Structure 1
């Protein structure tokens, strides 16, 4: 149907008429979108079936990637491009008098993720399919996702994200492959066997979303699980109570866990995903091989962060209780099946579950965690390890189950996501584990799919690259290095700057249309978009803007030397993360003050974009001049926003943290702006317990002035005490060294200001960044995973 635009046009008109009982000329954007989606899904149906048959025929080993998040973004354009049919569809729509872009923009971002963790998982799925790596993702089909962010009076408000309100054209419901997931109940001892008697069951219904490879006829899938009533209603609850509770399991991503009920719900979600996905994989494996003996030879199950860690005891439960294996045999299969990616060293992000929550909810699973822990402790005792070391490493300690420890002990591979992060894991945070399992820890630096973050989101830059270096980079991103031959060419520099201006104009237009704020697209677009967290230090950026504003108001020399800046923020704060939400309020309060000051607003504007998501990022990344990557060194595992900005020709202003270290190694000291404490200095300062931010507040006149503005009525549109909490945090604690790094940050920002005045040299630096960005393709990451961990080959 997509062989010619005329044929497509005919099929489209006919399908729309039969679906909506109206002529195409009377159709709405929604109707055109749904019909186009159905036709695209039909177009790739044979490829999806052929891929499954090929995997079966070649008896291929598969990777099953479990993550609580897959931040896919819109799929319509991606699917049209990867199938090689977008030009046909565009021509057909034009002939019909419609705009394909308008229909593409109609699609909602699926509410299946929040930030970098989910976007990374989505990039990995794209690369797996494009490299013909047989595999799938597993996630929950969240009805409302995280939340839709609204900014009201400067505050974040969370509203339901009804992304499924109009259905989701890409998903296929697989009712026949549903699974029953048990909860609560008790365990009985029968004739030498443990028999689990669940208290209730919840039905897990899978929906499959095709993940289409890059013009290669290969289609993997993301399986998302929906919680629905099981035919066995619990006797101790009313049907209404039961259905209300189960709806929450696939309701929201990351429900508030500040209460016992919230923690229980999160754990329910994690087991629901783990048990449903694992049962499905095992059922298919046994249908083919009729044995579990070869399971680890044919499957790798990858645990993305600790959220799906319950896969491990659930696997043991199935092998012991249902397959009736010995412990040693079951453990051998389990130990050779699972791989684990650690994404953080932050204590609050390394999940720990109270025994008081996990034991009643999952009684048999908890027994098996206890037994894994007992055997680990027994082995450590036999090896003569000290009690202190055993207690540091064991899974259950202080009445808590440490999920990262469960993953490390039970997996055959543990990887960090950037060289610095992995070094910190191996040599500091998890050194004892690394000593215990010397070959288990490896590094796989994160990556991004250049297909979405360059080819799709920046077609102007892609066309420019096509003309300069050919199209080979589209299949092999390392070929972007060919651009390095042109970085000194003045015409090349001018062409690049024209493209950057086009993208900045487009972003400025959207901001004006949505927020009513005019911004100068000739100004420096200095951008920090990422999850709102203290360690990412949006607060330091905000206080720096307060400094700039003060200087513009008080120093004629500073004003004359200052290149106009537009500071753009985008971030969601977790609903229960009070301090993060207070930082959002501060940023918006600063924006109100500086944007409405006629003395300075031609030099300085501040924007907080509402409801930052993948689709918004596709406009923001190409428009950026300066990429703010300013997390406290040692805290950001990798980052992927830094890679997207780099690939689109932004310069990094950042600390030596995460993948910034590797960006610096690639582009050289002269093409990146690095400042502040490094990881060793942060760790030394942490260990010394000698840092006293109050001393800086009392002795540094600049810091003193700025922090006093938080509480002295300087922001006259809010209560004087509105930001007292931020003031007290910085003066008395400053856990992420905002004040310690502040002057280094000021100096680096001033260097950026000076550098931008020489547009030719700025363009050269940006082009060098683009040329070196191919190293951060997720294709490279997936090849590394395939070779170093999974041992899975591409299908020919």
Structure 2
């Protein structure tokens, strides 16, 4: 959010007088944005009247929410402007975080806490007979992300501001975010998520900073007046990118950073000639095609049109962002000699990888730099974070599609690849097999552009997001690149912000922690270690259990309202919430629940500790097996919850429409955290960190960040089961036959036979045949059956531990005390010091 350029031809004296006048105004006591209760009450009343046009008789709860939000935003504005001024005055190096997803959730409560207004605003509203909590519920979730990737980006923005790191987030202002999930007859049904239906209190439109974006067309090669070979991109279709800025407040400081989200607009609103000729549809066709780019988060890319729109989305936001970054740099510097010293661009996964080619296009085609100079600048500027170990999840674009949408960029990618391969061959650093694997262009029946390879070649840093994940990147996924450039690779274990995921989500526990160790943990999560001795304090253990029970009651009320199920607060709350995917193995969890039910029906003397199984998560619209798993969970729940023989001993619920605000209720209430992915498949996970931070004990495999969580909290405070990465590889190498497990394990055979025969689908006996077939005839790719017996045995250990409440509480307290490493503040500090070389800039 740079200062506006002065009007042309205005004299220096006039500008100086304006600047001095504004400075004097800023230095005056500002009663309008004071933070005492009386002024906050007046601010609320003013916004209700002047911003919403309502009085106390006509105002709705939504009007009152907006009045509160605008009052808070007013108090962030001065800090926001001061932050940008500080960055300009100090000519600070800035971080630009490019992410196609930002799963922000709700902003009001987070902003109230971060800028220190929560108690004051609650008091001001209470004086008016209003409850702040009621107004907080009016805000929709900003669901601009699918899951962990987008939520991680949101946590990073919070930490960047809290650590006073000069930073900007760049993404897309999707009109419709991640879909709202309904459950009809047990099946997932997607509905549009209209988070902008009533507008957003937090965004500031910046039409003056609109950026032109070209797509399609062709290239022309020509020689300029200096005899230099140049390239023009011609006959392109043009789209405009209009930025909307969202303030991101740091906790307990004066820093307010910027999240800039781009909205696609047509380069002209309508074709007047077509309109005058009476062809209205043709007149607005270009407008609709252009604005579709920012319409919906991640279209289904199973069709050619879906893939094309997704590529358009990626280039659109990258083009706008690179344009913005370059313009900001040129306002302060002549040329690009200092560009890597002033700019650090981090690509969050492969979605923004086209930025490598786009920066090269800008530097070479628009700014006239020689290729070699531009390439050195680009490589020194970019960092790449990888978020997946599965080769099939790494983005590839067919050369035909890529060249049709981005003809100039395909030429640049080919040139990058040619020079890279020539250099490797000249230095004899790799054989032909390695060169083929590292090539940015994948040869084959359908030639493809490998975006991950482009990101690695075009970056000075490549990082994984957990220690195990990074080792697997170096050893397997990018082994050839690691052999070539070992110095590029580093680990940055993910983290979550303790402000959102403990202070805001679990105020009872946060207050208890602050009372015994002070508030320093909020910005230095390693201080949580001081809780360790309190695990032996009987009084603190009682308090801890009381807070947990209150949180369980709060979640139980949501389940009663949404699912019509009454939960037993004395039962174990066993929770698995995350995106539905086969590798995350919700199927392993629900098969065990079904097996437990069958065991209870078969053996009336079997008396397990009462347990409540809670599931939640969304399946990608085109992911058939994930949708079958959701249906199975709901069908098992329907059978189990209506069977009087097991009532009070097993309860199952699927929590629909899993989102950030619902997660804030789930994590504090959970007692068992299910982190059971197949070893070697989960890059990191962040839900596992949020559960542990809130005192849930993990049952999990040695996968992703589970490895480091177990190291931190202690093996004795973690329930471990399952095959390791090495054992998974060995089993698959010698030949994995799921039928062998089916024939040799009575429980597996019993539960799969029950699924196939319709025990959990009365009236539709073959309904779950696709799930059974995927396990037995489809090869069970995620080794559900191979880990089933170990998982069941480990769950018995969980139950045994829970039967001793004092012992369980000690374990839970130690989980909270020892998860300080998993603060996103630590992660961002490592990025800033070891990749970006960006120091903090104190504001105010």
- Tell me the TM-score normalized by structure 1: 0.98
Distance 2:809 2:368 in 1: 65
In 1, distance between residues paired with 2:52 and 2:703?
54
Q: CA 1:47/1:255 → structure 2, altered by over 3 Å: closer, same or farther?
A: same
4+ long deviations beyond 4 Å = 232-237
Question: Between Structure 1 and Structure 2, how many residues are aligned?
Answer: 793
1:777 corresponds to 2:777: no
In structure 2, C-alpha distance between the alignment counterparts of 1:716 and 1:81, rounded to whole Å: 47
Q: Where does residue 438 of structure 1 map in the other structure?
A: 486
Which of residues 650, 654, 657 in structure 1 aligns to 2:703?
Answer: 657
Note if 1:229 corresponds to 2:261. Answer: no
Deviations 1:121-158 (A, max 9, x none): 00000000000000010110011112110000000000
- How far apart are 1:287 and its partner, in Å? 1.7
Instruction: Give 2:241's aligned residue.
Output: 204
Segment drifting more, 288-297 vs 456-465: 288-297
Deviation at 1:42, TM superposition (A): 1.0
In the alignment, structure 1 residue 389 sits paired with structure 2 residue 421: no
Displacement of 1:347 after TM fit? 1.8
User: 2:753 aligned to 698, 708, 715, which one?
Assistant: 708
| In structure 2, C-alpha distance between the alignment counterparts of 1:155 and 1:3, rounded to whole Å | 48
> Contact 1:201 / 1:233 at 8 angstroms: preserved in 2?
no
Give the counterpart of 2:338 among 294, 317, 320: 294
- Offset of 1:229 from its aligned partner? 0.7
Q: Are the counterparts in 1 of residues 47 and 70 from structure 2 also a CA contact under 8 Å?
A: no
CA distance in 2, matches of 1:310, 1:602: 55
Between 469-478 and 183-192, the greater mean CA deviation after superposition: 469-478
Cα distance between partner residues in 2 of 1:705 and 1:3:
64
Alpha-carbon separation, structure 2, partners of 1:724 and 1:718 = 14
1:537 is aligned, of 554, 560, 585, to 585
Tell me which residue corresponds to 1:755: 801
Partner of 2:154: 122
1:61-140 correspondence runs (5 A): 61-140=93-172
Identify unmatched segments of 5+ residues in structure 1.
none
Post-superposition Cα deviations, 1:490-536, rounded to whole Å, max 9, x if no partner, equal 11111101110000000001110122111111110000000000000
Residue of structure 2 aligned with 1:573, choices 602, 619, 630: 619
**Aligned equivalents of 1:244, 1:13: Cα separation in 2:** 40
119-128 or 224-233, which deviates more = 224-233
CA distance in 1, matches of 2:741, 2:563: 38
Q: Which residue of 1 aligns with 2:18?
A: none
Report SS of the residue matched to 2:716.
Answer: helix
Q: 2:666 aligns with which of 620, 633, 644?
A: 620
2:783 is aligned, of 727, 737, 750, to 737
| 3-state secondary structure, aligned to 1:558 | coil
| Structure 1 SS opposite 2:104 | coil
Instruction: Report if aligned partners of 1:526, 1:566 keep a CA contact under 8 Å in 2.
Output: yes
**Which aligned pairs between 1:595-614 and structure 2 lie closer than 5 A?**
595-614=641-660
The match for 1:220 among 253, 257, 275 is 257
Q: 2:186 is matched with which residue? A: 154
Paired with 2:397 and 2:725, the residues of 1 have a C-alpha distance of 29
Write the mapping of 1:455-466 to structure 2, written as runs, cut at 5 A. 455-466=503-514
Query: Deviation of residue 233 (structure 1)?
Result: 7.4
Q: Is the counterpart of residue 528 in structure 1 residue 528 in structure 2?
A: no
- Counterpart of 2:173 in structure 1 is 141
Please tell me whether the aligned partners of residues 269 and 287 of structure 2 are also in contact (alpha carbons under 8 angstroms): no
Alpha-carbon distance in structure 2 between the residues aligned to 1:160 and 1:14: 34
Alignment of 1:358 with 2:402, yes or no, is yes
- Structure 2 counterpart of 1:509: 557
Q: Secondary structure at the match of 2:595?
A: helix
Distance 2:761 2:342 in 1: 65
8 Å CA contact retained: 1:546, 1:706 = yes
| Aligned-residue RMSD, C-alpha | 1.4
Tell me, yes or no, if structure 1 residue 698 matches structure 2 residue 743. yes
1:646-702 per-residue CA deviation (whole Å, 9 max, x = no partner) reads 00000000000011100111111110001000111112233x151110121123222
1:742-784: CA deviation from partner (whole Å, max 9, x where unpaired): 0000001010011100000000000000000111000000001
2:635 to 585, 589, 609: 589
Q: How far is the alpha carbon of 1:718 from its aligned partner?
A: 5.0
Rate the CA distance shift 1:654–1:224 in 2: closer, same or farther, 3 A.
Answer: same
Aligned with residue 472 of structure 1, among 509, 520, 527: 520
Say whether the 8 Å CA contact 1:111–1:142 is kept in structure 2: no
Cα offset, 1:2, TM superposition: 4.2
Residue aligning to 1:402: 450
Change (3 A) 1:520 1:552: same
Do 2:95 and 2:344's aligned partners in 1 also have CA atoms closer than 8 Å? Answer: yes
Tell me, yes or no, if the aligned pair for 1:571 and 1:611 is still in contact at 8 Å: yes
Shift of 1:193: 1.2
2:67 to 27, 32, 35: 35
Could you tell me whether the CA contact under 8 Å between 2:758 and 2:768 is conserved in 1? no
* Structure 1 residue 288, shift from structure 2 partner: 1.6
Query: Which residue of 2 is the match for residue 725 of structure 1?
Result: 770
- Residues 704-761 of structure 1, C-alpha deviations (whole Å, 9 max, x = no match): 1111111112124352221111101101210000000000000010100111000000
> What secondary structure is seen at the aligned counterpart in 2 of 1:728?
helix
* Contact 2:270/2:287, CA 8 A, preserved across alignment: no
State the alpha-carbon separation in 2 of the partners of residues 718 and 276 from structure 1. Answer: 55
Which residue is equivalent to 2:278?
A: none
> Out of 334, 353, 360, which is 1:309 matched to?
353
Q: Secondary structure at the match of 2:144?
A: coil
Counterpart in the other structure of 1:195: 232
Q: Give the superposition deviation at 1:238.
A: 3.4
Matches of 2:580 and 2:139 in 1, distance apart? 26
The corresponding residue for 1:4 is: 36
Structure 1 counterpart of 2:303? 259
Distance 1:718 1:336, change over 3 A: farther
Alignment of 1:518 with 2:518, yes or no, is: no
- Distance in structure 2 (CA, Å) of the matches to 1:39 and 1:186: 50
Q: Does residue 413 in structure 1 map to residue 413 in structure 2?
A: no
- In 1, Cα distance between the equivalents of 2:373 and 2:409? 18
Cα distance in 1, alignment partners of residues 109 and 621 from structure 2: 32
CA, structure 1 residues 305+198, in 2 after alignment: closer, same or farther (shift >3 Å)? farther
Q: Supply the distance in 1 between the matched residues of 2:43 and 2:374 (Cα, whole angstroms).
A: 54
Residue 334 (str. 1) matches residue 378 (str. 2): yes
Q: Which deviates further from its counterpart, 229-238 or 25-34?
A: 229-238
User: For 1:146, what is the secondary structure of its paired residue?
Assistant: coil
Query: 1:2, 1:85 within 8 Å by CA — same for their partners in 2?
Result: no
Q: CA deviation at 1:556?
A: 3.0
1:15 is displaced (CA, Å) by: 2.9
